[in-house]
């Protein structure tokens, strides 16, 4: 049978199953089973058993529940509120004032939560009452939360990047580093839009009632220095590890340990100075716990000291210690965070098992090979292919959630992308940004429903507020396509990449 007709039949069957409300993982398995039984001679039962076994033993997936648990702990503790209060003095002087706290707060929360839903809900829970009380424009307040809440999918430790890494067999550590600068790019675009809007409509932005002290300014400067020291220290440790494993074998027993000793000294001095200054600063010191947690998780990965799974363990332990130190961790909070993390992790893992089986089935039907040949015969340039895929994903985003959209399309899209010569590392960042757009696309945009429940506004009103940020993410994709090094620069600098 013609591969095009097979594709239409299988895609229609999948849409029918999803529309019926059947679980996504079961739907994927059912489509794969149909493809093998009807359109190939492969043994569907045996392939299903081996695929489920192989997918469940994927070591990369061990980081998934840990990062989700870290985000759940922060969501249920006082640390997230402290982060919001600590950011407010630093952003209130910009045009748009506290609206920038929504954006930067989501960016910071994304760096410790790894989930769009947790990021959006956590920051919205803190900011919506404050912005309403101060008289900020409600539409822009909702829009900043809808757009910035999606950063949890991109900024590491991103659950979506873990999912993509497993599907595409790309290093998760490198994907994490690739997501840093694109995340900063989107934050910058969102903040620029808010500033321009506020300058055009100055009467809709209340005056700031928050001011910075000299202690705040000194504290921020020292924090920047401390973070640089931490990353340098992590890199020094990684250099030492590489020397120990390779230097002696290469006949080079001499090693200059001045950088290690110096890194240790400046790290200790910087930490001591920060602790002392934090006693003077009132609101800014609230940022210390979250900043230290982010630095510990990402610094250990970037420096080559820890794998993503080990870094996730560091993050969970750090989140538990910080929550306990703040007095917001009790037995009920611990149990709720653990159960919430396990529910989410099991759901995603089950979907990945279904996606793995569907990918195997697609390979036996020959659909990916036929589509790749079709694209090759069309002589589409990589840019034209990306434009077509962007349109496809925008349409899919109207019907599927982010994880489903990625796993359903991966078996067909990834061979096409590889044939076009597109770097799978860069493509991972591209597809996550497109999935972010799906989070604010009706009728299944999850962030829209989160904000609707928290604001009490009509879903169409929330959607209209989010549309400018949909356009900004589309602009971000154009910039990433024009300058791919935004995503590939940091991974290429990684120790032991």
Q: In the structure encoding, which two tokens stand for residue 433, read together? A: 């940004």
Quote the pLDDT of residue 435: 84
**pLDDT at residue 216 greater than cutoff 80:** no
Domain limits, the chain = 214-247+254-281
Residue 187's pLDDT band, with cuts at 50, 70 and 90, is: very high
Distance between CA atoms of residues 428 and 491, nearest Å: 13
275-304 CB burial, b ≥16 within 10 A, e <16: eebbeebebbbbbbbbbbbbbbbbbbbbbb
pTM higher than the cut 0.75: no
Question: How far apart, in whole angstroms, are the C-alpha atoms of residue 48 and residue 30?
Answer: 10
Average pLDDT, stretch 78-89?
72
Q: For the residues of 247-285, what is the DSSP string, one character each?
A: ITTTT-----THHHHHHHHHHHHHHHHHHHHHTT-SSGG
pLDDT per position as a tens digit, 255-312: 444 444 444 444 444 445 544 444 435 566 667 787 788 788 877 776 777 777 888 8
Close Cβ partners of 157 (under 8 Å, ≥ 6 residues apart): 63, 67, 70, 111, 112, 114, 176, 297, 298, 308, 311, 312, 315
Three-state DSSP at 406 gives: helix
Among 221-235, 347-361, 413-427, 470-484, the minimum mean pLDDT is found in 221-235
Which residues fall within 8 angstroms of residue 169, CB to CB, at 6 or more apart? none
pLDDT reading at 411 higher than 80: no
């Amino acid at each position: 049978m013609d591969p095009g007709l097979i594709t239409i039949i299988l895609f229609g069957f999948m849409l029918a199953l999803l529309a019926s409300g059947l679980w996504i993982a079961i739907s994927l398995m059912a489509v794969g089973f149909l493809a093998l039984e009807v359109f190939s001679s492969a043994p569907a039962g045996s392939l299903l058993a081996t695929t489920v076994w192989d997918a469940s033993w994927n070591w990369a997936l061990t980081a998934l529940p840990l990062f989700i648990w870290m985000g759940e702990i922060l969501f249920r503790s006082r640390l997230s509120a402290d982060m919001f209060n600590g950011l407010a003095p630093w952003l209130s002087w910009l045009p748009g004032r506290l609206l920038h706290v929504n954006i930067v707060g989501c960016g910071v929360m994304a760096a410790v939560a790894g989930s769009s839903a947790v990021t959006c809900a956590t920051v919205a829970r803190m900011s919506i009452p404050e912005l309403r009380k101060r008289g900020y424009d409600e539409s822009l307040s909702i829009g900043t939360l809808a757009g910035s809440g999606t950063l949890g999918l991109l900024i590491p430790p991103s659950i979506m990047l873990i999912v993509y890494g497993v599907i595409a067999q790309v290093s998760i550590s490198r994907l994490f580093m690739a997501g840093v600068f694109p995340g900063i790019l989107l934050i910058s675009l969102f903040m620029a839009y808010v500033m321009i809007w506020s300058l055009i409509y100055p009467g809709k932005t209340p005056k700031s009632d928050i001011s910075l002290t000299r202690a705040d300014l000194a504290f921020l400067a020292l924090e920047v220095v401390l973070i640089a020291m931490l990353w340098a220290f992590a890199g020094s440790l990684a250099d030492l590890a590489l020397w120990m494993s390779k230097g002696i074998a290469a006949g080079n027993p001499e090693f200059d340990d001045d950088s290690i000793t110096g890194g240790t000294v400046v790290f200790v001095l910087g930490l001591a100075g920060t602790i002392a200054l934090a006693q003077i600063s009132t609101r800014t010191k609230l940022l210390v716990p979250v900043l230290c947690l982010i630095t510990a998780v990402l610094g250990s990965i970037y420096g080559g000291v820890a794998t993503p799974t080990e870094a996730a363990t560091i993050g969970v332990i750090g989140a538990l210690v910080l929550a306990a130190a703040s007095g917001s961790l009790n037995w009920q909070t611990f149990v709720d965070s653990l159960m919430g993390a396990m529910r989410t992790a099991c759901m995603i893992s089950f979907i990945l098992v279904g996606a793995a089986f569907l990918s195997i089935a697609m390979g036996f039907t020959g659909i990916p090979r036929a589509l790749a040949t079709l694209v090759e015969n069309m002589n589409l340039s990589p840019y034209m292919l990306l434009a077509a895929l962007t349109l496809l994903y925008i349409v899919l985003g109207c019907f599927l959630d982010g994880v489903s959209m990625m796993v359903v399309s991966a078996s067909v899209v990834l061979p096409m992308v590889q044939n076009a010569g597109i770097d799978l590392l860069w493509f991972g960042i591209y597809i996550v940004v497109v999935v972010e757009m799906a989070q604010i696309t009706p009728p299944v945009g999850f962030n829209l429903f989160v904000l609707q429940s928290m604001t009490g506004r009509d879903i169409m009103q929330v959607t209209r507020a989010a549309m400018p940020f949909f356009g900004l993410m589309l602009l971000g994709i154009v910039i990433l396509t024009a300058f791919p090094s935004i995503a590939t620069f940091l991974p290429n600098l990684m120790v032991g990449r």
